[in-house]
Amino acid sequence: MKLTETVRKMVIDSDIGTRAVAAKVDKKHHVLLNELNFENTSHKLGAELLAPLMKACGSDSPMHLLAAEMGGLFIKIPEESCSNASLVKAVKEFGELIAVYGEAIERGELKDEGKQLIRKEGQEAMTAIQELLCGLDVNDSLKPHN
């Protein structure tokens, strides 16, 4: 998937809706949609809009795409206020990774689409594990109470 397609999907799938995303990045709704339309040659999405769009949508999916295209991996550094839910999230994300990988193995083939899904699930699992590890240092509720 291309970057513009990924950003377009992120905006369209956003929990707040395309109009709210446009407002948050100070763009007219129709202008933003035109910029995200890869078939429209008169409007182009500017690179400086990428970070504000990701923040508005609450998604870092374009970063995962860019990292994968460069042979790397994007791992978001979590905020210091990690919750106890980090362990549950890490286990859940790892379980989803193993499920997707297991399904591909059962089919006996691993096409590009399957590899992309496995990479996506793997990145989400690694991010959740990183959040868990960071949370260990700042979360006093994990310490035994006397």
60-118 per-position pLDDT tens digit: 889 988 988 888 877 776 665 556 666 677 778 888 888 888 888 888 777 777 787 78
Nearest to 38 by CA among 15, 4, 11: 4
Identify which has the larger pLDDT, 136 or 20.
20
CA distance 64 to 86: 20
Structure tokens at 50: 């990428």
Identify which has the larger pLDDT, 85 or 39.
39
User: At which residue do the structure tokens 């295209």 appear?
Assistant: 69
DSSP per-residue string spanning 28-79: -HHHHHHHT-TT-SS----GGGHHHHHHHHT--HHHHHHHHHTT----PPPP
Enumerate residues 6+ apart whose C-beta is below 8 A from 46: 35
Encode burial over 43-81: b for 16+ CB neighbours within 10 A, e otherwise.
eebeeebbeebbebbebbbbbbbebbeeeeebbeebeee
For residue 126, the model assigns a pLDDT of 80
| pTM listed for this prediction | 0.63
Count the neighbouring beta carbons within 10 Å of the beta carbon of residue 108: 6
Question: What are the phi and psi torsion angles at 119 (to 5°)?
Answer: -60, -45
